[in-house]
Amino acid sequence: NKFFNEEEIGAEYGEGFETFRLDGPLKVDVDFLNEKLQEGFLKRIRYAMKPDEAFGLIFSWDNVLADSRALRLSSWQQLAYEEGKNISEDADVQSSLLYAKVDHVLRKVLFWENRESELERLESRLSQLYYENMLKLTKPIEGVKEWLDAVSTARIPCALVSCLDRKCLLETLHQMGLNKYFQAIVTKEDGMDSIAHRFLSAAVKLDRKPSKCVVFEDDLRGITAAHNCTMMAVALIGAHPAYELVQADLAVASFSELSVINLRRLFAHKGSTFMDVQKQVVEKSPTKRKLTIDTI
- pLDDT tens digits, 136-147: 888 899 999 999
What pairs with residue 252 in β-bridges?
236
Least confident of 1-10, 29-38, 68-77, 80-89: 1-10
Query: In a 3-state reduction of DSSP, which class is residue 208?
Result: coil
Query: In a 3-state reduction of DSSP, which class is residue 237?
Result: coil
Give the pLDDT of residue 174: 92
Mean per-residue pLDDT for 50-72? 89
Give the closest residue to 184 by CA, choosing from 66, 26, 59: 59
pLDDT band with cut points at 50, 70 and 90 for residue 15: low
DSSP line for 124-168: HHHHHHHHHHHTT----STTHHHHHHHHHHTT--EEEE-SS-HHH
| pLDDT value at 100 more than 90 | no
Percent of the chain residues topping a pLDDT of 90: 25
Least confident of 25-39, 45-59, 226-240: 25-39
Record the pTM: 0.81
Distance CA 158, CA 180 (A): 10
Mean per-residue pLDDT for 214-235? 91
Distance CA 232, CA 250 (A): 9
Topology (CATH level 3) of domain 27-66+138-274: Rossmann fold (3.40.50)
Mean pLDDT of the chain: 82
What pairs with residue 8 in β-bridges?
194
**Pairing outcome for strands 250-252 and 158-161:** unpaired
- pLDDT tens digits, 231-260: 999 999 887 888 888 899 999 999 999 888
- pLDDT tens digits, 255-277: 999 888 888 888 876 544 444 44
Query: In a 3-state reduction of DSSP, which class is residue 296?
Result: coil
| pLDDT value at 91 more than 80 | yes
Burial 184-196 (b: 16+ CB within 10 A, else e): bbbbbebebebbb
Alpha helices in the chain (DSSP H): 30-36, 41-49, 68-83, 91-99, 102-104, 116-134, 144-153, 166-176, 195-206, 220-228, 260-268
CB of 268 closer than 8 Å to CB of 243? no
- pLDDT tens digits, 154-212: 999 999 999 888 998 999 999 999 989 999 999 988 888 888 889 999 999 999 999 99
Give the pLDDT of residue 294: 55
Distance CA 126, CA 84 (A): 14
Give the pLDDT of residue 17: 64
CB atoms under 10 Å from CB of 148, counted, come to: 22
CB of 3 closer than 8 Å to CB of 130? yes
Give the pLDDT of residue 279: 47
